[in-house]
Structure 1
């Protein structure tokens, strides 16, 4: 008798993988259900079948969140790559063929947060489009767009050199005080500050809040780039106003326990030049999508 060929291994369903990745990234079946437009019970059934297929538990269910098992962490890497490859394949056949050059301007503190994801996904779907990225101050970038040297510009609302209400607001988050974990800069008087250059919205919001609270301060360091502000904080020489999402160890948030006033929200807007090409419109859509996923 001829030996029968071994059965091929089961295939992973893309829809189930999408649910699995959403749960892993959000830490919650409820939050993931809203992202994939299913009920939590439907996601629970999907994960149960996936665990049965692979023969391993993928999540540890806790009171308020779920976390990955070692096998789940391994699958997460594969799942992300498979979903990305699926997206690239579909986009390659269904997306209209675009080419040309798109010029995008962004301040460094904004660009470093979303550009890697934006450029990677955009290049996958539109490999023939060349993207030129220019980093600089918001006001300078808007001027270059008016001169038709840039197609799209990301700016921080509230800068002195910008008219209010420009563009489409694509992101909003709290501006917070930040300093070195275990540092003493926040205890000094006058309060040492590391700020962006004159005209920056972060600078204006911080100084207005301190003035209103009657707190003595001195501008110890000034830099056009947030990396310069961060360097002074890391050295525990000053504190800074920083977007909450940029405060990462060894930095920490500072607040009322240090006698510091709240700073409020700051917003990022996307400006579009006139008569955008289809390629520029496609990149703009990808930028908006990246900020929505980032929230």
Structure 2
């Protein structure tokens, strides 16, 4: 029986970095290697796979169809490799990690935290559930290591990991008041959703007033369920009794806001690296689920 070829994980990691940066030269710089060494790695990989993985696109690179397949397998193989190392080494790592999360994504934390606890059983986790601006500020002030937030993509510590559709939300029994400004229920003035709603209403010259405000999401839900007004927010995990739509009551569509993960540059180590990956994966899974649900809702609306 012929011995099968074993691909080099280091070469596969170079492939992923080169794809993410769009350049072999940039990949070489990030990996601390010479451009010729990186080029040789990619040449050997293509010979081993029997197919080209990159093609030129302008001054940069783009994956071929075979390259797309190779990259998907490379990411899976590297993920397993990294998780194995984390599992074996993490059992002896102690210390604490401070993370923050916006209220909208708090429901994704259990899966990420339980996975992290399996990898790093001796680590202590400090958790904050706060507003987006407060979380971004806390990372910049070195009060927490990582944070998942909505908006604030221009902050130095921010990395955009997805887009979140914004919808109008109201009680199922809510009715627009006739000949009166639109009653808005919202969180504080720093809330990205509040600012987005006001900006779109003013652009559409729609009269409005702040009918209810609350510092907490539970308070906002209570105001909506009481019929005090309408709000703009994500449609993730709405309480029973609330309805949502991109243009509810004919109001202007609000578009989307970026979902960001913020990391304190002084927070280093494999435990922080792994927590960032777990949080990113959990959030992206929630976003994918929301997109799938929204598509089903639109299709059912067309059928109706």
Q: TM-score range by the shorter chain?
A: 0.5 to 0.7
Equivalent position of 1:281 in the other structure? 273
Rounded Cα–Cα distance in structure 2 between residues aligned with 1:199 and 1:169: 19
Deviation (angstroms), 1:95: 5.4
Deviation (angstroms), 1:104: 0.6
In the TM superposition, 1:55-204 aligns within 5 A as 94=88, 96-97=90-91, 98-110=93-105, 112-158=106-152, 163=154, 166-185=157-176, 189-204=180-195
Q: Is the 8 A contact 1:181 1:249 kept in 2?
A: no
Deviation (angstroms), 1:166: 4.7
Describe the SS at the equivalent of 1:238.
coil
Partner residue of 2:234 out of 243, 251, 256: 243
Partner residue of 2:203 out of 212, 215, 228: 212
Partner residue of 1:263 out of 246, 251, 254: 254
Alpha carbons of 1:165 and 1:260: their partners in 2 closer, same or farther (altered >3 Å)? farther
Compute the TM-score of the two structures, normalised by the length of structure 1: 0.62
Deviation (angstroms), 1:267: 1.7
Rounded Cα–Cα distance in structure 2 between residues aligned with 1:102 and 1:257: 41
Deviation (angstroms), 1:190: 1.4
Alpha carbons of 1:114 and 1:102: their partners in 2 closer, same or farther (altered >3 Å)? same
Q: Deviations over 1:89-120 (max 9, x none)?
A: x799545433210001223233x231122112
Alpha carbons of 1:152 and 1:164: their partners in 2 closer, same or farther (altered >3 Å)? closer
Q: Deviations over 1:48-73 (max 9, x none)?
A: xxxxxxxxxxxxxxxxxxxxxxxxxx
Compute the TM-score of the two structures, normalised by the length of structure 2: 0.60
Equivalent position of 1:64 in the other structure? none
Equivalent position of 1:62 in the other structure? none
Deviation (angstroms), 1:145: 2.5
Deviation (angstroms), 1:249: 2.9
Q: Is the 8 A contact 1:187 1:258 kept in 2?
A: no
Deviation (angstroms), 1:179: 0.6
CA RMSD of aligned residues (A): 2.8
Equivalent position of 1:45 in the other structure? none
Q: Deviations over 1:142-167 (max 9, x none)?
A: 33323322111222215xxx845751
Deviation (angstroms), 1:291: 1.6
Q: Deviations over 1:62-86 (max 9, x none)?
A: xxxxxxxxxxxxxxxxxxxxxxxxx
Rounded Cα–Cα distance in structure 2 between residues aligned with 1:126 and 1:188: 59
Q: Which runs of 5+ in 1 are unaligned?
A: 1-33, 38-89
Rounded Cα–Cα distance in structure 1 between residues aligned with 2:87 and 2:173: 54
Alpha carbons of 1:257 and 1:244: their partners in 2 closer, same or farther (altered >3 Å)? closer
Q: Is the 8 A contact 2:169 2:248 kept in 1?
A: no
Deviation (angstroms), 1:195: 0.9
Q: How many aligned positions are there?
A: 206
Deviation (angstroms), 1:283: 0.9
Describe the SS at the equivalent of 2:206.
coil
